[in-house]
Amino acid sequence: MSEQTTPKCVGVIMDGNRRWAREHNVPVFEGHQKGYEKFKEVVRWAKEANIQTLICYAFSTENWKRTEDEVGYLMQLFETALKNEFDEVSKENARIRFIGERGALSENMQKLMGNLEDKTKNNTAITVVIAISYGGRAEIVNALRKAHSEGGDLSEEAVAQHLWTHDLPDPDIVIRTGGEKRLSNFLPWQSVYSELFFKDSYWPDFSKAEFEDILKEFSERERRHGK
């Protein structure tokens, strides 16, 4: 029996929006819209399951290499969500955080992100962390530089204090949809002891039953952490 039946923190790689769109013969943009709707559903599921922190991989540093049209649409989708979703977020009593290379985003997006973080900072039901323009290696390099600039030994503790997630728990679970079985630069430092779950469902099709099955399996796993 697991020492911990409910995960404190869950990481999610929301993969498969484009393939979902192709299989349904609709524009890629519609796949991303469906993916955004699924994200809001999963936030509710996580809150209902008493998960304290949900970290969602929304846009990687590598995603900047996609077509100009697709990247432009995604940025527009993010910006629209930032402008319009505060009321819905407030109803969920969710605290919103962003991690990633903010300097790569527009000044307006950075402002909207900061405003949303500030407005929700006292919400207590769940912390929802959105990884946008995020790359795990970049995060580690950034942390190493900051730790080095402060002098002293480059210990694990010193580096961890400068990660973008320094005040967040490491994920107990990492879920990836879309059939791929890799982490793709998502939380490489933080996920070393995470339980990994790979689902074939594309992100827009990911179901509550699948989510609940993952939580059930997690509760039955014995997590030894090297012991």
Give the CA distances from residue 46 to residues 10, 85, 92, 211, 224, in Å, rounded to whole numbers and listed in that order.
8, 18, 11, 9, 24
Catalytically annotated residue among 50, 63, 123, 142: 63
Tokens read off for 59: 């846009």
15 is catalytic: yes
- Least Cα distance to 28 among 18, 16, 14, 38 occurs for 18
- Least Cα distance to 169 among 6, 2, 5, 10 occurs for 10
- Match 């911990």 to its residue by tokens: 4
Catalytically annotated residue among 15, 17, 170, 185: 15
Report the run of H or E that residue 95 belongs to, with start and end. strand 94-99
63 is catalytic: yes
79 in helix, strand or coil?
helix
The catalytic residue positions are 15, 63
